[in-house]
Structure 1
């Protein structure tokens, strides 16, 4: 729910390590001669970070030939179990691919106990082709299509999370309690409360300093809409892949710093039913070949913005599984919760799915508000940018903007259950054109396994009620 700095819409410099280029590994090793270990990071379709620790000597190989990982890594459900229907496991020999380090993602790990670096990897086949099952490769294909059409997406991501205290008495349902100051009376909401930031100033100062050491374009930090909930915003980047990389690294940073402070950070979409859920909001503007914001053009800007909005609305139901990929995420989509429940848009309106924030014309952008914080940033951006491109290519016209409460307007609803979202996803021609038949089937199988697991579970409330 936080506001983005409108001055950041054109991107900006990033502190920390030098930008990517030939010899990146060699330069890093020369600058960090005491380096002992490298953490190789891969984001699977569920947004779960997987990978391995390796000695520093493996760094050059990761940038040149790649590090071996099985393709079946992308056929695991959210619990890390093999989903045989994907066809990526023993039935096909559980083959290896080659994961190469992404230029520009080699960063120090300031919280590590020994000199350590980390790098994001992407999967390639034995023939050197980008593997279709890797979510980052899916985003790269959409970015390539935008570039061919003459556009560069300038993106920023906002992430909400809760800080939980494992040492405090748990809540009645066994859930760890969120951190907040003990007060008399009702549970405080404390939106934008400076006192909450001050109470955890050591933790947030560490996030800030470690983030700068890793070259993350950190922007604002705020106390959010519920006790123990916070939000960190990243600055706009004229590189959608880098923006998604930033989000992956920021989530890891927050979790690791919280752990070192004896707390737990959770990006779970809806950890508490009675208060706000955690969102991942995406801000997007489009730059032309000269680097100008096309939405700010006094002649064609509003029309092209309308095409993009219309494309997002037209593809939103089919793409909801990308934005809300977990069973729990659909609990976040509640009327009145500031989590959108409809394929709607409006100006300066936080009840809609696509919001045009207030601000000067040169910073005109759209804000996509549907994704939960537990979503995979690569798939979220791929879905958003593919919807934008679809609207531009088809020159779609949006419906009138919602000017009041979108929860009460007669606009198309989003799927409110995971099973429905999967059905819309796997029947969508838009998803097929964006991700290909193979990946559409892969993700649908992974998510159906998740649904089956939850539908097979008897909840504590059922036992309490019926036993």
Structure 2
């Protein structure tokens, strides 16, 4: 039996108390070759380390040191010096600790492997508030102080692509030439990739991810996987992070790529991240389903808060330069600050259902957004509306694109400016988080502004 660095086997760890996760995993699956330590950065990109399986107990005993500055990396993994959290601070380590229940096998790995999701703390044990998961935890605590628990679920859209050269235009698994091909909700498209999609479902089951419906979406090679609701907002966002990794990993094992890019094909639907949220009181009852008009009032106020804070939070919902290409009329991606009942053209939809299932569906975020930041901004907006009693405008019916409603900015620069000056963002996430996130996105925008597009060569060369 391999021996840990502290001189004990994985099997006899923590014998005087309950068996820890590492020991339970080893008993169920054997000791893996490696444990993939996963830490989502500010962009939602997974960073981390491989740790030998025979040493995995130290993850729970000692934590895993990773530089605090990992939350100052841009979407290309480069240090954003303007954040002021890199070498000028000595580039100190934080201490990452495992999130309970996330040590799982990696079925798509070519060798026996496990993975565990981590969150960042300072060496003294205080949460590192540049970690988006810690920001969501603060919002969850605010809800708890009011006797509320968020119940949330994510829906993730993605394209399957043929392998291609890095930076080359995407090649969907179905042709995009000729007559436009949506084939929405197609069973034959599901059948065409049944082995891959079944492997995704099997992998989700082995990792305990609550995967629900799989559908063929509104574009060639586009699919959607829905997750079941969780009455634990942190776990719901963790699920979304891990589902993206699973989809990517299984697709690669099948010789394909999966992309969550918000708008990979100009003439077809983008990839969205829709989030369904309800609220439970201390008794476990859905507050939006209360009788006598009280549930309807609270639902309106929650929607009002989302609309009132939507422009300020847009940079978290649409964090990428490409994401603003998705917000176009007629695309099922919202363009206005709108809400309505059973209406997929609005930004905040109230789905049909019984009173106990009343909820809001937030439809703005792109699939590449950070689930923890998206959910934190949603919950904070809903709480703002409930606490302040914000009344929304009348709900829209019919095609929301035809209504004269306030518009979401289609320009990243405007979203950055609004975010950087927002009192709501400062109150919710803190002045330092607002500053760091804004300068990171400003640097990202500047990089795209310095690039010469192929269309420019076609036009002017």
TM-score scaled by length of structure 1: 0.92
Query: Residue 141 of structure 1 corresponds to which residue in structure 2?
Result: 138
- For 1:423, which of 417, 422, 426 is the aligned residue? 417
- For 2:255, which of 245, 248, 262 is the aligned residue? 262
Q: Distance in 1 between matches of 2:139 and 2:431?
A: 15
Offset of 1:183 from its aligned partner?
A: 10
- For 1:271, which of 264, 272, 282 is the aligned residue? 264
Unpaired stretches in structure 2, ≥5 consecutive residues: 1-17
- For 1:124, which of 121, 125, 150 is the aligned residue? 121
Query: Residue 162 of structure 2 corresponds to which residue in structure 1?
Result: 165
Offset of 1:34 from its aligned partner?
A: 3.3
1:314 matches 2:278? no
Q: Distance in 2 between matches of 1:129 and 1:367?
A: 33
The answer to whether the Cα contact below 8 Å between 1:63 and 1:102 also exists between their aligned partners in 2 is no
- For 1:252, which of 238, 245, 248 is the aligned residue? 245
Q: Distance in 2 between matches of 1:431 and 1:105?
A: 30
Query: Residue 460 of structure 2 corresponds to which residue in structure 1?
Result: 466
Change (3 A) 1:91 1:404: same
Q: Distance in 2 between matches of 1:351 and 1:64?
A: 50
Offset of 1:447 from its aligned partner?
A: 0.3
- For 2:193, which of 182, 196, 200 is the aligned residue? 200
The answer to whether the Cα contact below 8 Å between 1:270 and 1:278 also exists between their aligned partners in 2 is yes
- For 1:408, which of 394, 402, 412 is the aligned residue? 402
Q: Distance in 1 between matches of 2:55 and 2:395?
A: 53
Query: Residue 57 of structure 1 corresponds to which residue in structure 2?
Result: 54
Change (3 A) 1:66 1:262: same
Offset of 1:223 from its aligned partner?
A: 0.4
Q: Which digits, 9 at most, give the CA deviation of each residue in 1:384-423, with x for residues without a partner?
A: 0000111111111111001122112121111111111011
Secondary structure at the residue paired with 1:414? coil
Change (3 A) 1:101 1:184: closer
Secondary structure at the residue paired with 1:177? coil
Secondary structure at the residue paired with 1:128? coil
- For 1:77, which of 68, 74, 77 is the aligned residue? 74
Q: Distance in 2 between matches of 1:441 and 1:83?
A: 12
Offset of 1:184 from its aligned partner?
A: 9.5
Secondary structure at the residue paired with 2:161? strand
Secondary structure at the residue paired with 2:47? strand
1:101 matches 2:93? no
The answer to whether the Cα contact below 8 Å between 2:338 and 2:396 also exists between their aligned partners in 1 is yes
1:113 matches 2:106? no
Q: Which digits, 9 at most, give the CA deviation of each residue in 1:136-193, with x for residues without a partner?
A: 10101101101111110000000000001126xx9xx94131012x699613210000
Q: Distance in 1 between matches of 2:26 and 2:85?
A: 36
Query: Residue 353 of structure 2 corresponds to which residue in structure 1?
Result: 359
Query: Residue 7 of structure 1 corresponds to which residue in structure 2?
Result: none
Q: Distance in 2 between matches of 1:59 and 1:345?
A: 48
TM-score scaled by length of structure 2: 0.94
Change (3 A) 1:184 1:102: closer
Offset of 1:425 from its aligned partner?
A: 0.5
Q: Distance in 1 between matches of 2:335 and 2:350?
A: 17
> Which stretches of structure 1, 4 residues or longer, exceed 6 Å deviation after superposition?
none
Change (3 A) 1:393 1:184: closer
Root-mean-square deviation (CA, aligned residues, Å) is 1.5
Change (3 A) 1:186 1:213: same
Query: Residue 346 of structure 1 corresponds to which residue in structure 2?
Result: 340
Query: Residue 10 of structure 2 corresponds to which residue in structure 1?
Result: none
Query: Residue 373 of structure 1 corresponds to which residue in structure 2?
Result: 367
5 Å-filtered alignment, 1:41-52, equals: 41-52=38-49
Query: Residue 155 of structure 1 corresponds to which residue in structure 2?
Result: 152
Query: Residue 377 of structure 2 corresponds to which residue in structure 1?
Result: 383
5 Å-filtered alignment, 1:204-353, equals: 204-299=197-292, 300-353=294-347
Q: Which digits, 9 at most, give the CA deviation of each residue in 1:302-324, with x for residues without a partner?
A: 00001100000000000000000
Offset of 1:29 from its aligned partner?
A: 2.3
Secondary structure at the residue paired with 2:349? strand
Higher relative contact order (CA closer than 8 Å, sequence separation 6+): 1
Kindly tell me the number of residue pairs found equivalent between the two proteins.
442
The answer to whether the Cα contact below 8 Å between 2:170 and 2:264 also exists between their aligned partners in 1 is no
Q: Distance in 2 between matches of 1:440 and 1:415?
A: 19
Q: Distance in 2 between matches of 1:112 and 1:390?
A: 43
Q: Distance in 2 between matches of 1:409 and 1:46?
A: 33
The answer to whether the Cα contact below 8 Å between 1:165 and 1:263 also exists between their aligned partners in 2 is yes
The answer to whether the Cα contact below 8 Å between 2:155 and 2:273 also exists between their aligned partners in 1 is yes
Offset of 1:22 from its aligned partner?
A: 6.7
Q: Distance in 1 between matches of 2:146 and 2:439?
A: 32
Secondary structure at the residue paired with 1:63? helix
The answer to whether the Cα contact below 8 Å between 1:38 and 1:116 also exists between their aligned partners in 2 is yes
